[in-house]
């Protein structure tokens, strides 16, 4: 899956990911702009893969589970990049 850069919402990251655990809050998040961008990129990927413009992602909850998986990978990549940047800064400070 090709990941797109998504700016994190203004809320704390932990609160935002916690909201993905319930159906009701998930429906609210699915309407947010950031997740609409993620959903559209997933649909584009599906149309490339299956060759049809009429790709149905199923019910909200199925879509929610799929988006949680993608967001988990996005979050892991985001945190690993941040960790690498911090490690680079620490090593340059020690050498001085």
Q: What pLDDT is attached to residue 90? A: 63
For residues 73-94, average pLDDT: 67
pTM of the full structure: 0.32
The pLDDT score that the predictor gives to residue 26 is 67
Domain ranges (residues) in the chain: 13-95
Residue 45 in this model has a pLDDT that exceeds 50: yes
Contact (Cβ atoms closer than 8 angstroms) between residue 61 and residue 23: yes
The residue ranking higher by pLDDT, 56 or 69, is 69
Q: Which of 30, 32, 25 is nearest to 10 (CA)?
A: 32
Indicate the average pLDDT of the chain: 65
> Three-state SS for 9?
coil
pLDDT at position 56 over 60: no
């Amino acid at each position: 899956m090709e990941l797109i850069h998504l700016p994190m919402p203004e809320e704390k990251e932990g609160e935002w990911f916690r909201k993905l655990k319930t159906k009701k809050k998930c429906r609210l998040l699915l309407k947010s702009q950031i997740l609409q961008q993620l959903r559209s990129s997933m649909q584009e990927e599906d149309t490339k893969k299956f060759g049809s413009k009429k790709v149905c992602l199923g019910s909200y909850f199925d879509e929610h589970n799929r988006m949680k998986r993608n967001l988990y990978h996005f979050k892991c990549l985001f945190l690993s990049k941040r960790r690498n940047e911090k490690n680079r800064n620490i090593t340059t400070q020690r050498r001085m």
